Amino acid sequence: MAVSDHVDLNGFIEGVKRRNPGQPEFVQAVQEVAEDIFDFIQDKEKYHEAQILRRIAEPDRVVSFRVCWQDDKGNVRVQRAWRVQNNNAIGPYKGGIRFHPSVTESVLKFLAFEQTFKNALTGLPMGGGKGGSNFNPKGKSDGEVMRFCQSLMTELYRYIGADVDVPAGDIGVGAREIGYMFGQYKRLTNEFTGVLTGKGLEYGGSLIRTEATGYGATYFLQNMLKTQGKDIEGHTVVISGSGNVATHAAEKCTMLGGKVVTLSDSEGFVYDPDGFTQEKIDWVKDLKNKRRGRISEYVKEFKTAEFHVGKTPWGVPCQLALPCATQNELLGDDARTLVANGCIGVSEGANMPTNLEGVHVFKDAQILYAPGKAANAGGVAVSGLEMSQNSARISWKEEELQRLLQDIMAGIHASCLEYGTRPGSKIPDYVKGANIAGFKKVADAMLAFGVV
């Protein structure tokens, strides 16, 4: 066997920790993947010799830059922003941009690493990247957000391009921010290309991109339940978050006959014992996207609902759970509570919402548990379809895109089953399945390129 720190999992993780001090989220993401990959590559010399895992866990590059902008009072404000280009073995870097005060280089490196596997799972030609800034859009005027987005793009445009790196939205970056960034890119380059996805329909966006992540996570849950002869219909569903992913997951679960009883934000969660109807979900979308309000306002409008300040929703008894807010929002004890309350299926709309301890609780309990890199890949899949439409200068019809999204999610599910079977159990290990299927595709492409 070649001399490499692939030889021993603990040694490998120690090396990752040493090389990435103060980056716990990145180390956590690498560790979760490495636990499965080590088993898989144990008897596959070619991956060891080429140090493939070590190379995937070292971003191609990380660009860090200052973003200056002026607030409405004329004060000069300074933010930090990054673009992490993790791996482009199978296509241009692709991954969202996040605006949130919690954004650090570690968070973006973990997201870009995860994105590399997720994008491979979609079957579309996209590499992995991620970007963002510690800018907090909450409470900012449209003018302030516009000036910030323009200033950020004035630097970022040098590193991206339709065949180089194609960012999209994420936490804090929706249609408004994408519009401002695309407008500035177009102005700086005098080019109209599909350099960002999640664009407005008037200027090259794709139908169903907005819905795709939440809908896709629900389709994945449906696929998992089907393997056990079950369905979403008639089950109680707990969802965290109240942004793009959460509201669309709630919408699709409701359409499929599930009873969604919670939504949340960083201030607490709402419990609606009557369940969220389409009308109520539309009200939340309007609250979040137009009025830019807080989920606590829901209980003023819908009187039978309760708001639980500072709490997460995992204590509410349910059969199905979709964490759709942020990383590490579901901890070991939360996972134990869900299992004890009879939860049979968890589909992650968010990226790495369950911490490592929680992942092990779900795995050990042998419930249906889909990691974000598989379950929330619907968003980037439709982004990939947006790139194809932009390159061909065409727009596909909604029915076609809905069908493609369902096919892609079913394909990801099948890939997870291929590599995630668990001897002696009817419940597959979706984490292992997703990690290995994603790794294999990227790794085999990297092998073809030699040492680069």
Verify binding: residue 251, ligand NDP, rule CB under 6 A: no
CA distance 203 to 155: 22
Q: Which residue is nearest to ligand NDP (CB)?
A: 243
From 79, 87, 347, 376, residue interacting with ligand NDP (rule: CB under 6 A): 376
CA distance 165 to 307: 41
Binding segment for ligand NDP (CB under 6 A), chosen from 11-19, 200-208, 321-329, 336-344, is 321-329
Q: For Cα atoms 287, 245, 364, give the angle at the middle one, nearest 5 degrees.
A: 135
From 266, 337, 388, 406, residue interacting with ligand NDP (rule: CB under 6 A): 266
Burial of 415 (0-12, 13-18, 19+ CB in 10 A): buried
Verify binding: residue 170, ligand NDP, rule CB under 6 A: yes
Q: CB–CB of 220/434 below 8 Å?
A: no
Does 432 qualify as catalytic in the annotation? no
Verify binding: residue 385, ligand NDP, rule CB under 6 A: no
427: which 2 tokens? 């419940």
CA distance 83 to 67: 13
Catalytic residue, candidates 109, 118, 130, 280: 130
User: Shortest Cβ distance from residue 100 to ligand NDP (Å)?
Assistant: 6
User: Shortest Cβ distance from residue 45 to ligand NDP (Å)?
Assistant: 35
Residues facing 65 on adjacent strands: 81
At 2, which amino acid appears? Answer: A
Of 303, 308, 299, 169, the residue nearest 238 (C-alpha): 308
Binding segment for ligand NDP (CB under 6 A), chosen from 19-27, 119-127, 238-246, 360-368, is 238-246
Rg (CA), the chain: 21
From 329, 334, 386, 429, residue interacting with ligand NDP (rule: CB under 6 A): 329
Q: CB–CB of 359/331 below 8 Å?
A: no
User: Shortest Cβ distance from residue 7 to ligand NDP (Å)?
Assistant: 33
SS3 262: strand
Verify binding: residue 241, ligand NDP, rule CB under 6 A: yes
Verify binding: residue 169, ligand NDP, rule CB under 6 A: yes
Classify the C-alpha dihedral 32-35-38-39 as positive or negative. negative
Binding segment for ligand NDP (CB under 6 A), chosen from 6-14, 25-33, 170-178, 249-257, is 170-178
Q: Are strands 320-322 and 165-168 parallel, antiparallel or unpaired?
A: unpaired
User: Shortest Cβ distance from residue 383 to ligand NDP (Å)?
Assistant: 8
Verify binding: residue 350, ligand NDP, rule CB under 6 A: yes
CA distance 54 to 362: 27
SS3 318: coil
At 131, give phi and psi (nearest 5°). Answer: -145, 175
User: Shortest Cβ distance from residue 74 to ligand NDP (Å)?
Assistant: 27
Binding segment for ligand NDP (CB under 6 A), chosen from 10-18, 41-49, 270-278, 347-355, is 347-355
Verify binding: residue 325, ligand NDP, rule CB under 6 A: yes
Q: Which residue has the tokens 């895109």?
A: 401
Site for ligand NDP in 63-92 (CB under 6 A): none
User: Shortest Cβ distance from residue 2 to ligand NDP (Å)?
Assistant: 36
Verify binding: residue 355, ligand NDP, rule CB under 6 A: no
Verify binding: residue 32, ligand NDP, rule CB under 6 A: no
Comparison of 50 and 377: residue with beta carbon closer to ligand NDP? 377
Classify the C-alpha dihedral 198-391-161-23 as positive or negative. positive
**Residues whose CB is less than 8 angstroms from the CB of residue 291 and which lie 6 or more positions away in sequence, other chains included:** none
Site for ligand NDP in 96-155 (CB under 6 A): 102
User: Shortest Cβ distance from residue 194 to ligand NDP (Å)?
Assistant: 16
263: which 2 tokens? 């939504």
Verify binding: residue 386, ligand NDP, rule CB under 6 A: no
Looking at the annotation, which residues are catalytic?
Answer: 130
List residues near ligand NDP by CB under 6 A.
Answer: 102, 169-172, 213, 241-246, 265-267, 324-326, 329, 349-351, 376, 379
